[in-house]
């Protein structure tokens, strides 16, 4: 007889595997967030983030914390050091302060980044070594 | 109002405060304050005091609940803590241990 009042979008898709999380624009978290799936932050988070999937910081989102994630996309504000196994994308409107470590980093026009970039990429075979590190003191496109 | 969904694989340890509606399928430990409604779905675990608008529980809550509106414990819910609310329903199959204060 007791029924869930309104099925949330997440439960409609089923939660067979790690289901995504959305921290809405009006939500503030002071503490650590850990997760198996993808996390979208449109609100504020201060503390720590460790997700196995992709962390997306939307426009208006603000994360003041170190980030440990599978992938990272930023269109909002991020202050903290980042360690990502996959790709880092800083989109237009992003404002990022911190040291980033990822497999592949992209900066869109309009992204504002200050910090260090530490990533591995393959150089053309003429140049020899397979891994190198790039330090960018202040990259503003 | 936008809504916040704490998915099943997500754990938050700390203080959560929201103007959004919150749906908990994962775990929150610490403190939860929501101006709007909170739904703790089956599988959701909240180990925290909760201050909220209407609260619907099908999961587990360990902590004191202060609601400005109604609290509904559905079948399968497990609540250990005191509840302060204007209205309350405890469905058959819900488990509850605590005091209820409806400001009578």
In chain A, domain spans:
20-140
For A49-63, write each residue's pLDDT tens digit: 999 999 999 999 999
pLDDT tops 60 at residue A10: no
pLDDT tops 50 at residue B5: yes
> Is the residue at B103 inside a domain?
no
Tokens coding A96: 């990022």
> What is the reported pLDDT for B78?
98
**A21: nearest Cα among A72, A55, A44, A50:** A55
> What is the reported pLDDT for B62?
98
**A23: nearest Cα among B51, B34, B77, B73:** B34
Confidence bin at B75 (pLDDT 50/70/90): very high
Closest-CA residue of B relative to A5 is: B56
pLDDT tops 80 at residue A139: no
CA B43 to chain A, closest CA, distance in angstroms equals: 11
Please compute the mean of the pLDDT values over residues A69-93 and round it to a whole number: 96
> What is the reported pLDDT for A120?
67
> How many domains would you assign to chain B?
1
For B12-40, write each residue's pLDDT tens digit: 999 999 999 999 999 999 999 999 999 99
In percent, the amount of chain A with pLDDT more than 70 equals: 71
CB B57 within 8 A of CB A5: no
Q: What is the sign, positive or negative, of the torsion defined by CA atoms of A70, A72, A78, A80?
A: positive
**Interchain proximity A20–B7, CB inside 8 Å:** yes
Q: Point out the residue among B2, B15, B43 whose CB comes nearest to the CB of A26.
A: B2
Q: Point out the residue among B9, B58, B94 whose CB comes nearest to the CB of A4.
A: B58
What domain range is B18 assigned to? 3-96
> Is the residue at B104 inside a domain?
no
For B53-71, write each residue's pLDDT tens digit: 999 999 999 999 999 999 9
> Is the residue at B27 inside a domain?
yes
| Average pLDDT value for chain A | 81
Cα–Cα distance measured from residue A63 to residue A110, given in angstroms and rounded to the nearest whole number:
19
**Interchain proximity A2–B2, CB inside 8 Å:** no
> What is the reported pLDDT for A20?
75
């Amino acid at each position: 007889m007791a029924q869930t009042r309104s099925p949330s979008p997440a439960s409609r898709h089923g939660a067979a595997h790690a289901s995504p999380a959305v921290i809405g624009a009006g939500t503030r978290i002071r503490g650590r967030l850990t997760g198996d799936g993808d996390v979208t932050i449109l609100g504020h988070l201060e503390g720590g983030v460790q997700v196995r999937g992709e962390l997306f910081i939307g426009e208006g989102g603000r994360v003041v914390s170190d980030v440990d994630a599978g992938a990272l996309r930023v269109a909002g504000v991020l202050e903290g050091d980042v360690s990502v196994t996959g790709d880092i994308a800083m989109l237009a409107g992003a404002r990022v302060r911190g040291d980033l470590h990822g497999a592949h980093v992209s900066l869109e026009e309009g992204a504002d980044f200050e910090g260090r970039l530490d990533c591995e990429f393959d150089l053309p075979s003429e140049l020899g070594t397979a891994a190198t590190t790039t330090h960018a003191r202040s990259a503003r496109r | 109002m936008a809504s916040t969904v704490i998915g099943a694989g997500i754990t938050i340890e700390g203080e959560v405060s929201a103007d959004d509606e919150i749906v908990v399928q994962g775990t929150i430990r610490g403190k939860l304050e929501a101006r709007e409604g909170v739904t703790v779905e089956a599988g959701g675990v909240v180990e925290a005091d909760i201050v909220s608008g209407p609260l619907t529980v099908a999961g587990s809550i360990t902590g004191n609940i202060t609601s400005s509106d109604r609290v509904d414990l559905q079948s399968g819910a497990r609540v250990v803590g005191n509840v302060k609310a204007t209205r309350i329903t405890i469905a058959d199959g819900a488990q509850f241990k605590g005091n209820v204060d409806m400001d009578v």
